[in-house]
């Protein structure tokens, strides 16, 4: 994406949020503050574009950390903070109430008391029955070899999980994660994708053009995610910003506001060998 187009997208979001600042002057600030990177790794325009598309879609403010992102294998893992989840739930004009029910039975987690399950109920003004989701502590708690919020605030984290999962079903929120989920995704991905060395050859544009139609159909039909496809391609060569942008645009187009895959087409596709 050109710098002008990225500035326009940034300006659009800033105007929507009432910030009224010049879009081009906000890009560098967002790259530095809206991404959590290791060793100040550079953020590409394609990654910045992916974050802004999602921020615009949900009306979230990246300047106040309602939404931010972790770079991941050339793509991003978009993270919505507690305030962001509260905003998109409460700003939905279909919301008619939220309530929680807690199990009488409790368990002990690292010296603190937690409920066996928490149930969230969300009522919509356009539906007769509420959406009810029960989340069990032993299925959502995070086990790690370092201290996490699950160790210090297990009841709060459990309630937050129940609220998010219920909201996803009630309102169809898709393509966004809380920080706990994002960190689990990154932990799962660590070490599985082959790292491209800085001096590796760029991925051939001719090969990219030859494969892009097949890749598009594979993403649309959910044979592979865009993120996993990018990781596989980059074991062959380093993708350019324009090539990454093309793949990210495919990802953003096939996922609508409800997280539903649109225009999916059947395709014969070998996930282990996505190349011709």
Is residue 72 a part of any domain in this protein? no
**Which residue would you say has higher pLDDT here, 127 or 201?**
127
95 and 45, same domain (yes or no) = no
Look at residue 131 and tell me whether its pLDDT is greater than 50: yes
Tell me what pLDDT residue 5 has: 59
Q: How many CB atoms lie within 10 A of CB 212?
A: 14
152 and 92, same domain (yes or no) = yes
- Give how far Cα 73 sits from Cα of 115, 192, 275, Å: 37, 11, 18
180 and 205, same domain (yes or no) = no
For residues 200-224, average pLDDT: 83
Asked whether 60 and 17 are in contact (CB, 8 A), the reply is no
Look at residue 2 and tell me whether its pLDDT is greater than 70: no
Residues 203, 29, 26, CA angle at the centre, nearest 5°?
95
**Which residue would you say has higher pLDDT here, 194 or 113?**
113
121 and 162, same domain (yes or no) = yes
Kindly give the residue spans of alpha helices, DSSP state H, lying in the chain: 3-16, 23-33, 45-58, 82-90, 137-140, 149-152, 154-171, 179-189, 205-220, 226-233, 241-254
Is residue 68 a part of any domain in this protein? no
Which residue, of 127, 161, 187, is where some domain finishes? 187
Could you please report the per-residue DSSP string of 86-102? HHHHHT-TTEEEEEEEE
Is residue 266 a part of any domain in this protein? yes
Percent of the chain clearing pLDDT 70 (strictly above):
74
49 and 139, same domain (yes or no) = no
178 and 211, same domain (yes or no) = no
Distance CA 234, CA 118 (A): 42
Tell me what pLDDT residue 271 has: 45
Identify the domain containing residue 200 by its residue range. 195-276
Look at residue 99 and tell me whether its pLDDT is greater than 60: yes
Domains in the chain, number = 3
232 and 269, same domain (yes or no) = yes
pTM: 0.60
Is residue 71 a part of any domain in this protein? no
Is residue 221 a part of any domain in this protein? yes
Is residue 77 a part of any domain in this protein? no
Distance CA 4, CA 20 (A): 17
203 and 276, same domain (yes or no) = yes
> Tens of pLDDT along 178-192?
888 887 777 765 443
183 and 238, same domain (yes or no) = no
19 and 110, same domain (yes or no) = no
């Amino acid at each position: 994406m050109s710098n002008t187009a990225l500035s326009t997208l940034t300006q659009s979001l800033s105007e929507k949020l009432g910030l009224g600042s010049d879009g081009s002057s906000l890009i560098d600030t967002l790259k530095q503050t809206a991404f959590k990177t290791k060793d100040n790794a550079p953020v590409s325009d394609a990654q910045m574009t992916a974050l802004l598309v999602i921020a615009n879609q949900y009306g979230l403010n990246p300047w106040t950390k309602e939404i931010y992102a972790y770079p991941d294998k050339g793509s991003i893992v978009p993270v919505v903070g507690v305030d962001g989840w509260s905003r998109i739930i409460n700003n939905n004009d279909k919301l008619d109430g939220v309530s929680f029910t807690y199990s009488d039975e409790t368990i002990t987690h690292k010296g603190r008391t937690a409920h066996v399950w928490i149930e969230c109920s969300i009522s919509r003004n356009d539906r007769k029955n509420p959406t009810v989701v029960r989340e069990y502590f032993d299925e959502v708690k995070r086990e790690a070899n370092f201290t996490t919020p699950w160790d210090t605030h297990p009841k709060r984290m459990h309630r937050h999980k129940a609220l998010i999962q219920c909201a996803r079903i009630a309102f169809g929120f898709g393509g966004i994660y809380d920080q706990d989920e994002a960190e689990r995704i990154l932990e799962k991905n660590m070490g599985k994708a082959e790292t491209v060395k800085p001096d590796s050859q760029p991925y051939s544009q001719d090969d990219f053009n030859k494969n892009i139609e097949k890749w598009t159909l594979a993403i649309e039909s959910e044979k592979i995610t865009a993120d996993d496809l990018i990781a596989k391609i980059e074991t062959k060569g380093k993708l350019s910003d324009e090539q990454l942008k093309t793949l990210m645009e495919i990802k953003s187009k096939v996922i609508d506001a409800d997280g539903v895959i649109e225009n999916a087409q059947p395709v014969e596709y070998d996930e282990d060998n996505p190349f011709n």
